[in-house]
Amino acid sequence: MSDLQAILDSIHTELLPRLGEGKVADYIPELAKVDPNQFGMAIATVDGNVRSVGDADIPFSIQSISKVFMLTLALGKVGESLWKRVGREPSGTAFNSIVQLEREEGIPRNPFINAGAIAVSDIVLSGHAPREAIGELLRFVRYVADDESITIDDKVARSETQTGFRNIALANFMRAYGNLDHPVEHVLGVYFHQCALSMTCEQLAKAGLYLAARGTNPITGHSVVSPKRARRINALMLTCGHYDGSGDFAYHVGLPGKSGVGGGILAVAPGIGSIAVWSPGLNKVGNSQLGAVALEMLAARTGWSVFGD
């Protein structure tokens, strides 16, 4: 696998002329300030090696990628009973869609659209003050990434708190349907802070390694989840991780993946490694445009697609 670095380098070189493609998320004012011409990619393989290229050491707002870590925590807390409150089907609608939530009486389609993630945050919040739930998540992410330097960007959290009107609406809908146990302000306090986790591609690739290695981080030896749970989280990432672009991502890349409006994507090659890519420009459905292209190139050049090489 020594040519992995060469593959990363070639992807970077080929994408250089395209940097800046897509549109930076501007509905969160703090994200609108991010320079769109950045690109980083890192791969952590199950043998413990980390390879990277470009801006892989620059922290960015992981946004919805945090939903994977929060789901892992919530499943650890309440197990399969989580699925009474959240579905496991692709939504076919935008990540912040309100219509479907009303039609389906406050039960979000899956844990990776905003409504589902807000319900998951409510589960992690139970028995805690919001500050403690955020602390629990931060400790968890530092643990899986084996990196104590990871932080939450308070400016991003504040920016979203001031402008997150759709999320406030989603949370209120769910509260009205009895699918939130805590006050909307508390749940969203947790949700906005989890989305504001700031990580580099290298940190994120390492943090996702447990999903590629049957639930155990091969670098630290820490058992994070059972092999069965890792497999199931991967299944959800494959079917729901890119919102109404999930089918397209599976078609082009063929790996479980989770995107965020900060322009990051975490992808998992089961048994092989965990890949993080970051390019802030988004496509129409809110997924990193060049991030997906880079992953498509990687999958084509390595044969890592779960559907065959």
Binding site for ligand GLN (CB under 6 A): 63-64, 95-96, 114, 160, 167, 195, 260-261, 286
* Nearest CB to ligand GLN, comparing residues 72 and 114: 114
- List the catalytic residue out of 52, 66, 67, 91: 67
- List the catalytic residue out of 64, 66, 91, 246: 64
Is 114 annotated to bind a ligand? Reply is: yes
Active site residue 64: yes
Is 202 annotated to bind a ligand? Reply is: no
- List the catalytic residue out of 53, 159, 190, 191: 191
- List the catalytic residue out of 61, 141, 243, 259: 243
* Nearest CB to ligand GLN, comparing residues 64 and 110: 64
Active site residue 191: yes
Active site residue 268: no
Shortest distance in whole angstroms from residue 29 CB to ligand GLN: 12
Active site residue 284: no
Shortest distance in whole angstroms from residue 266 CB to ligand GLN: 12
Is 143 annotated to bind a ligand? Reply is: no
Distance CA 263, CA 254 (A): 19
Distance CA 271, CA 211 (A): 9
* Nearest CB to ligand GLN, comparing residues 91 and 114: 114
Shortest distance in whole angstroms from residue 91 CB to ligand GLN: 12
Is 243 annotated to bind a ligand? Reply is: yes
* Nearest CB to ligand GLN, comparing residues 96 and 97: 96
Q: Which residues, 6 or more positions from 120, have their beta carbon under 8 angstroms from its beta carbon? A: 67, 70, 71, 74, 82, 86, 111
* Nearest CB to ligand GLN, comparing residues 264 and 270: 264
Shortest distance in whole angstroms from residue 17 CB to ligand GLN: 27
Is 283 annotated to bind a ligand? Reply is: no
Residue number with the shortest CB distance to ligand GLN?
Answer: 64
Shortest distance in whole angstroms from residue 288 CB to ligand GLN: 10
- List the catalytic residue out of 86, 144, 261, 268: 261
Active site residue 274: no
The three-state (H, E, C) secondary structure of the chain, written as one string: CCCHHHHHHHHHHHHHHHCCCCECCCCCHHHHCCCCCCCEEEEEECCCCEEEEECCCCCEECHHHHHHHHHHHHHHHHHHHHHHCCCCCCCCCCCCCCHHHHHCCCCCCCCCCHHHHHHHHHHHHCCCCHHHHHHHHHHHHHHHHCCCCCEECHHHHHHHHHHCHHHHHHHHHHHHCCCCCCCHHHHHHHHHHHHCEEECHHHHHHHCHHHHCCCECCCCCCECCCHHHHHHHHHHHHHHCCHHHHHHHHHHCCCCEEECCCCEEEEEECCCEEEEEECCCECCCCCEHHHHHHHHHHHHHHCCCCCCC
Q: Which residues carry a binding-site annotation?
A: 64, 114, 160, 167, 191, 243, 261
Q: Which residues carry a binding-site annotation for substrate?
A: 64, 114, 160, 167, 191, 243, 261
Residues belonging to the active site: 64, 67, 191, 243, 261
